[in-house]
Amino acid sequence: MEVRMEHTIGLGRKAEVWLGGTLLCVCDGISQIELRHPPGSVDDAKFSYMTAEGFSWAQAMRGNPSHRLQVDPVSGWQYVGFGRVMSIAPVVVDFGLLTMEDANWTTDESLIGRYGRIPIDRLEIIPAPAQDWPDGMK
């Protein structure tokens, strides 16, 4: 899905980016210290989030009984994510608009395919890691 920078205040500060047809308020993790990312297409970027509020996976699974896949804005770059656990080690959650890794580590395979509610205290756009193997090799 195409990512487009609308506006940024600078590295580590508020930015507005379009993801598909949705405008998101995020923390800018792609600008350089002295140079803001210009408006327009953003190549090789991904999204990540931080959750300051402690939660257990049991709590998260109880919070999405309707099996929603969406990210609802709360304030600034804070959101509430409703998603489906796609994998563990690392935990990857599909929120519909975004698919991101969760830092709340688990080995509980019973979570795969289950739906949950996850507080997102900071949604951030960051550089996608460069491929560390030659093309055609995995």
The answer to whether 77 and 126 have CB atoms below 8 angstroms apart is no
Percent composition of the chain: helix, strand, coil (DSSP 3-state, to 5): 5, 45, 45
Q: What is the pLDDT of residue 104?
A: 83
Percent of the chain beyond pLDDT 90?
Answer: 79
Two tokens, residue 138: 């995995």
The DSSP element (H or E) to which 14 belongs, if any, is: strand 14-19
pLDDT at 53 over 90: no
| Cα 4 to chain centroid, rounded | 15
Distance CA(70)–CA(42), nearest Å, equals: 22
Over residues 28-39, mean pLDDT: 95
